Amino acid sequence: MKKILTQGRLAALIVFVVLVIDQVIKICVKTGMCLHESIHITDWFYLVFVENKGMAFGMEILPKLLLTMFRIVAVIFITWYLYKATHRAEKLKTGYIVCLACMLAGAIGNIIDCVCYGEIFSESTSYTLAHWVPVGEGYGSWLHGKVVDMFYFPIIDTYWPDWMPFCGGDRFIFFSPIFNFADASISCGVIAAFLFYSRTLGQEFQKMENTKEEKQS
């Protein structure tokens, strides 16, 4: 009897669920909050609406267009690898597949922002809410949309002692980056893969190296 929930179907389900949750949250924040608006949930959890052009957690390393193209290439590679991993005769651990699916879903979620949001939403400002617009009348062009972030967890918010060199008296916040659900999905997938499936990762990298050497010889 065939399994109803195969590894491939499980991966597809995870990607779908994460994408739906991610986009629903982002659209609600984008159309329901002004830019930089903050909603106090608890002393260590806020909803803060910010937009960024960069990578996860608001980092800006590469030019916007180059970063978007890099994301697309990464998604294509992960999708190809995940498909191969779920259709091989020698099955990998299901937990490892779940990690890959979380990474893929998060990457696609942020790509949707970059590719589409500039075309379908008006500009968010500190005084006005964004709204849906006809395609082509948004605040940016294809591939130049901004990623919507909202989760802020200042678990520790204090000041360095005055006697500390260089940073004495400065404010210290942990955890200061503002991120979204897609970022969290990517991070959880990566961390879990390295913590619990480092051996599997090593074996997979070794297989890739062996395949590359066989093709070259």
> Which residue among 22, 162, 170, 183 is the active-site one?
183
75-101 as b/e: b if 16+ CB within 10 A: beebbeebeebbeeeeebeeebbbbbb
> CB-based contacts of 177: which residues, under 8 Å, 6+ apart?
57, 58
Tokens for 209, please give them.
Answer: 């190296």
For residue 152, give the 3-state DSSP assignment.
strand
> Is position 149 annotated as part of the catalytic site?
yes
Residue found under tokens 């070259």: 216
Using an 8 Å Cβ cutoff, are 88 and 170 in contact? no
Tokens for 216, please give them.
Answer: 């070259």
Tell me the C-alpha distance between 76 and 58, whole Å.
23
> Is position 183 annotated as part of the catalytic site?
yes
> Which residue among 113, 149, 157, 170 is the active-site one?
149
Q: Which residues participate in catalysis according to the annotation?
A: 149, 183
